[in-house]
Amino acid sequence: MSKLDDLGAWRAFLMFAKTGSLTAAAQSLNVDASVVSRAISALEKSLGCELIHHSVRPLQLTETGKIVVKRMGQIVKAHDSLMQKLIDDNSALTGNIRLSSAPGFAARRLTPLLQEFQKLHPQITVEILSGFSAADVQKGACDVATITGEPTLPGLCYMSHGRNVYLPVASPDYISRHGMPIEPANLRQHTGLVYTGPVREETKVLVRGTRTEPINFASAIRSMDILAIRSALLEGMGVAVDMPLVQIHEDIVAGRLVAILPGWFHPPAECFIVASHEAWHMKRVRIFLEWYAKAMQSLFASYEAEVSALVGLPPDKAAVDRSQLYRT
């Protein structure tokens, strides 16, 4: 078979054109740079012309290469679209999905959501994991994961599941004994309950408008378990400046916890549902990811609506279109 008929070679060339280097193209394709180089050389040999200026650094496309990128890119895209349609038309919605979620959310909120999904698709099973990162998704360690912050690694598909709001809170009992902190400087007289888990970095500062203030407690209890911190809050053991609303909305509504530090927040974080390009080719993963993202958006919005009359919430300044699927 002529190298000109080798879609893998054309994909290597197109990835080089997209990334601008052999190394980056190889990383995106999960192959050695020498594989990309040999594929492009073979195409040039078969064509009888250069697609890349090999004598300049950084490597650049020739005029012929630029034309080929435009035309061959359309051909490869059409091929992929046809293959995906054939796969979809012949794929039943069955099988297993490995889903990674934040441990605290998985423990208290996830199962009811998955029950709703399984009513719609009873032949799909969902295996709950926790602690996986975008890099783990990229490597295929799980099929779908929830991560904080927009993905930047190549080879991923993702949708927003909405923002995670973090609130400074304490129990009424703690406040009656120790007073209400109004400004971050007041935290020097209080015990802090500090999250140090894998989902996000420890909160070091709070923000109010254009002001930023550091956090300094008189003493601190640190934990990697967000549910342990919630329990300590309810028992009046200290204050937390960054409790996820998803974990405490019913506590606020019931009056078991109250907001402190009025107007001061750990900035909200946009969270995303992520899958690899390879996992996305599975119909069950596509169906689940889109359903899960919309379900999570609705759930998190409902939490904000429940507490909005009781506590101040930071304005929602979404940096992405939450209805769209994105690719890296």
Average pLDDT, the chain: 90
192-223 residue pLDDT tens = 999 998 888 899 999 998 999 999 999 999 99
Q: Is the pLDDT of residue 83 over 80?
A: no
Q: Is the pLDDT of residue 15 over 80?
A: yes
> What pLDDT does 2 receive?
67
Q: Which residues are within 8 A (CB) of 119 and not within 5 positions of it... i.e. 6 or more apart?
A: none
- The answer to whether the 3-89 and 166-259 domains have the same CATH topology is no
> What pLDDT does 152 receive?
93
238-292 residue pLDDT tens = 999 999 999 999 999 999 999 999 999 999 999 999 999 999 988 899 999 999 9
Q: Where does the pLDDT of residue 89 fall: very low under 50, low under 70, confident under 90, or very high at 90 and above?
A: low
Sheet holding 240-244, edge to edge: 240-244, 166-170, 258-259
Nearest-CA neighbor of 328 among 180, 174, 154, 188? 154
CATH code of the domain made up of 166-259: 3.40.190.10
Give the fold, CATH level 3, of 3-89. Arc Repressor Mutant, subunit A (1.10.10)
The residue with greater pLDDT, 130 or 229, is 229
* Spatial distance between the Cα atoms of 32 and 26, rounded to a whole number of angstroms: 6
CATH code of the domain made up of 95-159+271-327: 3.40.190.10
Domain ranges of the chain: 3-89, 95-159+271-327, 166-259
The residue with greater pLDDT, 326 or 6, is 326
Buried b (16+ CB within 10 A) or exposed e, 94-108: eeebbbbbbbbbbbe
Q: Where does the pLDDT of residue 1 fall: very low under 50, low under 70, confident under 90, or very high at 90 and above?
A: low
Q: Where does the pLDDT of residue 33 fall: very low under 50, low under 70, confident under 90, or very high at 90 and above?
A: confident
Q: Where does the pLDDT of residue 90 fall: very low under 50, low under 70, confident under 90, or very high at 90 and above?
A: low
Residues 166-178: what's their mean pLDDT? Answer: 96
pTM score: 0.69
